[in-house]
């Protein structure tokens, strides 16, 4: 698996007064798709957070808006690992119209490996070898 | 006026399972602060959208996350115009803890001037001279 | 068709600091399911709002919470028409865990037929006969 | 103190395609006002949840919609304790336009006292005497 896709439908509650998607929704969908991506490659929250006290926190996110999304449009969010460093993984997400294939938004989330064993003080850490192996594998396909 | 500030309190509904702000909320706050910024400099939605059919749509947004925000923290969002081109205006937002002054997040919204007279087909347009004058004025302070 | 179902997965961004669904999300899902229900019975927004300037606005909503929803639970939202009057339609929604069938939440939306041709002044109106016929049909199965 | 008020401004991101508040936002604001109400009467999350492992979970919520809220309207949310039983407290919230005083929405949250010391299994419990004394006091003014 190199990329992972999630389909959804744009709902009334996602729209603003212009009848187009209110842009923070795109980030909500990217976040959700990132979680499903991690789950699909076996890096589950249950294992990572609850057992090992590791989470991927955020360094930076960004989106570029190409086309507005409208009421009940069917969209597809495609996620892949775009870059890896010792401590960070960058996920790229593209959000496209399912019928036309036209790109609505492309964005990324740069995430950093955190030791969250102390809930009041998260600390950056090197990505553990076994997790890095999975991420490298999925990045290179 | 060179910059505009908005104060708010982080609420329970803004938090995720780690007890820190779910990151799309920061974009919601930046969007809201952008609207209040435009209103404060006299570029109201009522005048721009309803009368002149002009809006500033989105080209690109981005955030860098420095520190997590937590329950009932008092935060201050400071907004200013960072760059102007013929068709675009970039707003920078910094979100800081009010008591310590520590930066939580800094981000920007690059917006493009749109003719929205046809609701199904927004078209990019040069920023009208009177609006550009206001934006230049506020950018240079 | 008497009832309509929508499946979804509870995502990280739906949760609060306790790791359970932040309750306004249930209303977002009921609203979305209501729109999909109306679409499924042929009462589309395109036809109702854009062509006939009719919408079903809100009179009252309510939810009872039976069980918390948690990370990546698969849920099913089932929607049906529970009551009709000259001007109002009440949709009932039940939200259940898909694997166990256990009820998480049941709620309703009482909606009133509105003439929205004047965007600044919505007026209650009798449900048109053709729309009432569809709703009666779907209520009685 | 018998009631507690919170002022806020309706923002672009709160609106739907009709240019009125998307109704789940009202519940978000009621939830936030409830938290600020509890804090104002000394029942802080820090003390209740973190120290004593007690929270007030939800039994039932409801809203009636009287008037739509629109872009940049200034609103006031007024919260008070409406009813108390051994295990439950009901908060009433009214949301009114600050300039006209006109009611937009009134709603309630019926909450039940929970022992959350086991995060996977919350259990209903009698409201502790000291907390009940505070709630009774604030209910009767």
Task: Report pLDDT digits (tens) over A35-56.
Answer: 999 999 999 988 899 899 999 9
What's the gap in Å between the CA of B73 and the closest CA on chain C? 15
Whether residues D60 and C65 touch (CB distance < 8 A) is answered with yes
Query: Pick from A13, A28, A36: which is nearest to C32 by CB?
Result: A13
Distances (CA, A) of C60 to C88, C99, C139, D24: 11, 31, 19, 12
Interface of C with A (CB under 8 A): 9, 11-13, 28, 31-32, 35-36, 39, 45, 71-72
Which residues from chain B sit within 8 angstroms of residue D32, using beta carbons? Answer: 11-13
Residue D83: strand pairing partners: D90
Instruction: Assign A1 a pLDDT band (cuts: 50, 70, 90).
Output: low
What integer is the mean pLDDT of C4-9? 98
Chains that touch B (3 or more CB pairs under 8 A): A, C, D
- Chains in touch with D (≥3 Cβ pairs < 8 A): A, B, C
Residue C45 has pLDDT above 90, yes or no: no
What is the rounded CA–CA span in Å between residue B81 and residue D21?
A: 28
**Mutation target vs D (from C59, C62, C112, C124; most D CBs, 10 A cutoff):** C62
Contact B33, B79 (CB under 8 A): yes
Which is nearest to A42 in space by CA: A138, A139, A140?
Answer: A138
Instruction: Yes or no: say if B16 and B65 are a contact pair by the CB < 8 Å rule.
Output: no
Summarised one tens digit per residue, pLDDT across range B82-136 is 999 999 999 999 999 999 999 999 999 999 999 999 988 999 999 999 999 999 9
Distance from CA of B132 to the nearest CA of A (A): 23
pLDDT at B1 over 70: no
Q: Which residues of D touch A19 (CB under 8 A)?
A: 17
The 8 Å CB, 24+ separation contacts for C43-46 are: C43/C131, C43/C134, C43/C135, C45/A12, C45/A71, C45/A72
Report the pLDDT value the prediction gives residue C1, as an integer from 0 to 100. Answer: 66
Of D17, D24, D71, the CB nearest to A15: D17
Q: What percent of chain A has pLDDT over 90?
A: 94
Residues B81-86: contacts with CB within 8 Å, 24+ apart? B81/B135, B81/B138, B81/B139, B82/B108, B82/B139, B83/B110, B84/B127, B84/B132, B84/B135, B84/B136, B84/B139, B86/B126, B86/B127
* Residue C119, pLDDT score: 85
- Most D CBs within 10 A among C24, C30, C32, C73, hence the mutation to make, goes to C24
Residues of B in contact with D71 (CB under 8 A): 45
Name the interface residues of B facing D (CB cutoff 8 Å): 9, 11-13, 28, 31-32, 35-36, 39, 45, 71-72
Mean pLDDT of B74-79: 98
Helix axis angle for B24-40 and A24-40, nearest 10°, is: 170
Partners of B8 in the β-ladder: B75
pLDDT of residue B45: 86
**pLDDT digit string, tens, across residues D87-129:** 999 999 999 999 999 999 999 999 999 999 998 899 999 999 9
Asked if A99 contacts A63 with a C-beta cutoff of 8 angstroms, the reply is no
Choose the mutation target among B21, B63, B106 for the interface with A, i.e. most A CBs under 10 Å: B63
User: What's the complex ipTM?
Assistant: 0.97
Quote the pLDDT of residue A84: 98
Using CB atoms, which residue from D31, D60, D65 is nearest to C24?
D31
> Which subunits count as partners of chain C given 3+ CB pairs below 8 Å?
A, B, D
> Is residue D141 predicted with pLDDT exceeding 90?
no
Which of C35, C45, C72 is the closest to A39 by Cβ?
C72
Pair type for strands B54-65 and B103-115: antiparallel
Average pLDDT over residues A75-95: 98
Q: Is the per-residue pLDDT at B23 higher than 90?
A: yes
**Contact yes or no for C28 and D24 at CB 8 A:** yes
pTM of the predicted structure, to 2 decimals = 0.97
pLDDT band at D67 (very low <50, low <70, confident <90, very high): very high
CA distance D4 to chain B (A): 16
pLDDT reported for residue D45: 86
Nearest CA in chain C to D45: C17
In order, the DSSP letters of A73-100 are -EEEEEEEEEEE-SSEEEEEEEEEETTT
Residues of D in contact with C122 (CB under 8 A): 68
Q: How far is A12 from chain D (nearest CA, A)?
A: 7
Q: How many CB pairs under 8 A join B and C?
A: 26
* pLDDT band with cut points at 50, 70 and 90 for residue C2: confident
D25 in Cβ contact with D101 (< 8 Å): no
Q: What is the pLDDT of residue A76?
A: 98
Helix or strand (DSSP H, E) at A56? strand A54-65
pLDDT in tens, A112-140: 999 999 988 999 999 999 999 999 999 99
Q: Nearest CA to D32 among B12, B44, C114? A: B12
Distance in angstroms (rounded) separating the CA atoms of residues C63 and C68: 13
**pLDDT higher than threshold 80 for residue D75:** yes
């Amino acid at each position: 698996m190199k990329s992972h896709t999630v389909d959804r439908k744009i709902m009334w509650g996602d729209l603003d007064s212009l009848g187009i998607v209110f842009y923070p929704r795109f980030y909500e969908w990217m976040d959700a798709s990132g979680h499903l991506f991690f789950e699909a490659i076996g890096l589950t929250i249950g294992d990572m957070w609850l057992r090992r006290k590791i989470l991927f926190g955020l360094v930076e996110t960004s989106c570029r808006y190409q086309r507005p999304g409208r009421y009940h449009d069917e969209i597809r969010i495609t996620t892949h690992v775009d870059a890896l460093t010792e401590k960070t993984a960058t996920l790229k997400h593209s959000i496209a119209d399912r019928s036309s294939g036209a790109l609505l938004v492309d964005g990324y989330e740069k995430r950093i490996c955190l030791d969250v064993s102390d809930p009041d003080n998260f600390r950056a850490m090197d990505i553990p070898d076994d997790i890095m192996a999975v991420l490298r594998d999925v990045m290179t396909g």
